[in-house]
Amino acid sequence: MSEQTIEPLVVLGLGANLGNPLETLAGVLKEIGKLPQTELVAVSPFYKTAPVDSSGPDYVNAVCTVKTALAPQELLDELQWLENLHGRVRPAGVRNAPRTLDLDVLLWGSQTICTSRLVVPHPRMHERAFVLRPLTDILPECVIPGKGRAADWLEGTLGQRISKIST
């Protein structure tokens, strides 16, 4: 009997508020599906959201799940390459600046990852409606390691403006 590796379900957050965010996210989802050793599994609806700890125009956000044989740092490298391809600029000393594209690794199965470049689960995902609402759309019973059910955190984000975009 051969040994089989089962890839964990990886959850990615997508966001943009500069340029044409809706077009950018739709395009980058196709690109994510073409990453090496990676399969796009599910995509949430798109949401228009007010900036949180940021400035600029409203964001368009979504969540997707992938299965990948890439290591976490390798996937992060691929995602940052896509961000750069779409004109992402990281101004020195400015956190959460407006952006043409933001791709975050939110969850890696039930694993906890803590390196200088990558922290999973994403440390603030349980505080953000723009993550929780689309996440619970595609994974209603999702558990955030160390935090519990994602759906249980939604009530705490009720003051954050978010609306589903009709497509």
Query: Which residues participate in catalysis according to the annotation?
Result: 88, 99, 102, 104
CA distances from 147 to 47, 85, 104, 161 (A): 24, 34, 18, 23
3-class DSSP state of 32: helix
3-class DSSP state of 91: coil
Cα–Cα distance measured from residue 64 to residue 115, given in angstroms and rounded to the nearest whole number? 23
**Are the C-beta atoms of 68 and 78 separated by less than 8 Å?**
no
**Are the C-beta atoms of 10 and 48 separated by less than 8 Å?**
no
Beta bridge partners of 102: 15
* Among candidate residues 37, 10, 14, the one with its CA nearest the CA of residue 88: 14
Cα–Cα distance measured from residue 36 to residue 68, given in angstroms and rounded to the nearest whole number? 8
